[in-house]
Structure 1
Amino acid sequence: MNKTELIEHISTKADLSKADAGRALEAFIGAVKTTLKKKGTVTLVGFGTFAVSERAARTGRNPRTGEAIKIKKAKVPKFRPGKALKEAVN
């Protein structure tokens, strides 16, 4: 499912126009981004938790040359699914 299909699904299920559903999805994405930027977490009970973790600096290899390269530390967004979502998938 891509973003357009998700907007159509939200529009149908919530009885909203596609424009309203698109704005609602953009608002949700914006809220998650803003919260994660501030090092916060977003928890949706039954769905999961969005959080930021820090990946340590490390040494990697250039696959073409085999040369060792340094990879900087980075903040990466993570998603941890909730119990209800795990059960729904299984």
Structure 2
Amino acid sequence: MKRNNLSKNIILKKINYNLGIPNSFSKKILNLLLEIIVEGLNRDGKVKLSGFGTFKILNKKSRIGRNPKTKVEYQIKARKVVTFLPSYLTKKEINKKKLV
């Protein structure tokens, strides 16, 4: 099954095509948007984009992991992970598309 990843380049091409602006300008816009989201996460622990969803930082505790092949245990360090909770509108839009 082929993976269809949405890369920054694909997003940039869509911005360029739809707005008719140069690639360098759309690249600055996209990078600024991503930078704002990361800054908000670092500052507040969450970023809400109305009508789209909420990015949130969760703190994972350290734990013992196990290699399933060798059964060797090892310590997994505590870390932060970013989660995304889609808004009602985003869920509704996704669920109205038919899956093949």
> TM-score with structure 2 length normalisation?
0.80
Structure 2 equivalent of residue 78 of structure 1: 83
Is 1:89 equivalent to 2:91 in the alignment?
no
Residues of 2 paired with 1:39 and 1:57: CA distance? Answer: 23
Aligned residues: 90
Structure 2 equivalent of residue 6 of structure 1: 11
> TM-score with structure 1 length normalisation?
0.88
Residues of 2 paired with 1:16 and 1:9: CA distance? Answer: 10
The alignment yields a C-alpha RMSD, in angstroms, of 1.4
Note the alpha carbon deviations across 1:6-42, whole angstroms, 9 max, x for none: 0111122233222111110000111111121224321
Is 1:53 equivalent to 2:58 in the alignment?
yes
**Post-superposition shift, 1:62?**
2.1
Deviates more, 1:33-42 or 1:66-75: 33-42
Identity score, percent: 29
**Post-superposition shift, 1:81?**
0.8
Is 1:68 equivalent to 2:83 in the alignment?
no
8 Å Cα contact 1:60-1:70 kept in structure 2 = yes
Residues of 2 paired with 1:17 and 1:84: CA distance? Answer: 31
The unaligned stretches of length 5 or more in structure 2 are 1-5, 96-100
